[in-house]
């Protein structure tokens, strides 16, 4: 029996789809099963990672778990890992690229949260696989409102060139690690197959929806004002802009992890854009 947390999110839904195709026993965790909107026949159980006591019924007879974490639940992390360890033997954790080998290295809040979860899992007696995803193509869905409004995407540095990864590819690796042997103790860094510039990302979406679009570069000052207005924290805004500037100057190269693990070619950003054309139209 496999338990899928985060089952109603973009990647979690894809993990559910992969496990359905694999015809294995699993259940999906949701805060409100009535609103989960998962495929017919999926066993959806109530539970909340911020409330470890709510997990006991969901974990009954579970051997493996797909763990997707939310930063706002960090305080409950030790109790959640302990609860999982009492029942399950294997965990596949959706982490993020960029976690250094140095455990004392200073990190932004998101990577710091992922590192803490990885450390908790490693200290447990669970068999583990960490799927460290790179930039997710799905993050460009944040452009949808601007695309609908006037067809102009406004980004600092004119968009950051990245090897964006399709959520389906991340989910397939996670599903393999949940259902096959040989993935224990691996840290899989997963990206898309090619680096795509901001202009190329916008053009791929334009082609997918058959509508002219363009990228407009924001100055650092303009971008900082927007981020502070959204996040309310100048320090976080500056940290994000510094990270984006570094990626714009020196993009991370794509990895071949997906092809090595699955034997298949990874999905391109153009393929992702066609799959999500409706979300931008």
Burial of 236 (0-12, 13-18, 19+ CB in 10 A): middle
Q: Among 214, 212, 244, which Cα is nearest to 226's?
A: 244
Residue 130, phi then psi, degrees to nearest 5: -105, 120
With 0.85 as the threshold, say if the pTM is over it.
yes
Q: Among 240, 12, 278, which Cα is nearest to 144's?
A: 278
Q: How many angstroms separate the CA atoms of 59 and 47, rounded?
A: 10
Q: What is the pLDDT along the chain (281 residues), one digit of tens a residue?
A: 999 999 999 999 999 999 999 999 999 999 999 999 999 999 999 999 999 999 999 999 999 999 999 876 778 999 999 999 999 999 999 999 999 888 888 887 888 899 999 999 999 999 999 999 999 999 999 999 999 999 999 999 889 999 999 999 999 999 999 999 999 999 999 999 999 999 999 999 999 999 999 999 999 999 999 889 987 888 888 888 888 888 888 888 999 999 999 999 999 999 999 999 999 99
Q: How many angstroms separate the CA atoms of 54 and 47, rounded?
A: 5
Domains and CATH numbers, the chain: 2-133 (3.40.50.720), 135-164+193-252+265-281 (3.40.50.720)
Q: What are 151's two structure tokens?
A: 């067809």
Residue 212, phi then psi, degrees to nearest 5: -70, 135
Q: How many angstroms separate the CA atoms of 151 and 210, rounded?
A: 12
């Amino acid at each position: 029996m496999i338990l899928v947390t985060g089952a109603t999110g973009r990647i979690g839904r894809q993990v559910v789809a992969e496990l359905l195709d694999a015809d294995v026993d699993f259940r999906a965790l949701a805060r409100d099963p009535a609103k989960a909107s998962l495929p017919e026949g999926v066993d959806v159980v109530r539970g909340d990672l911020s409330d470890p006591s709510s997990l006991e019924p969901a974990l009954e007879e579970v051997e493996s778990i797909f763990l997707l974490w939310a930063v706002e639940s960090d305080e409950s992390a030790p109790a959640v890992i302990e609860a999982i360890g009492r029942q399950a033997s294997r965990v596949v954790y959706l982490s993020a690229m960029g976690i250094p080998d140095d455990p004392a290295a200073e990190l932004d809040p998101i990577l710091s949260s992922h590192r803490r979860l990885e450390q908790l899992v490693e200290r447990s007696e669970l068999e583990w696989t960490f799927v460290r995803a790179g930039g997710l193509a799905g993050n460009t869905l944040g452009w949808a409102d601007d695309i609908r409004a006037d067809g102009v995407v406004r980004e600092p540095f004119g968009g950051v060139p990245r090897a964006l990864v399709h959520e389906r590819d991340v989910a397939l690796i996670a599903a393999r690690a949940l259902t096959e042997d040989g993935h224990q103790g691996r840290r899989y860094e997963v990206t898309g197959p090619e680096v795509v510039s901001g202009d190329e990302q916008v053009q791929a979406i334009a082609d997918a929806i058959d509508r002219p679009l363009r990228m407009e570069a924001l100055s650092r000052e303009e971008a900082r004002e927007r981020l502070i207005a959204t996040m309310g924290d100048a320090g976080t805004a500056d940290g994000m802009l510094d990270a984006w500037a570094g990626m714009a100057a020196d993009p991370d190269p794509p990895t071949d992890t997906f092809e090595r693990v699955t034997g298949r070619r990874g999905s391109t950003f153009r393929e992702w854009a066609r799959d999500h054309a409706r979300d931008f139209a």
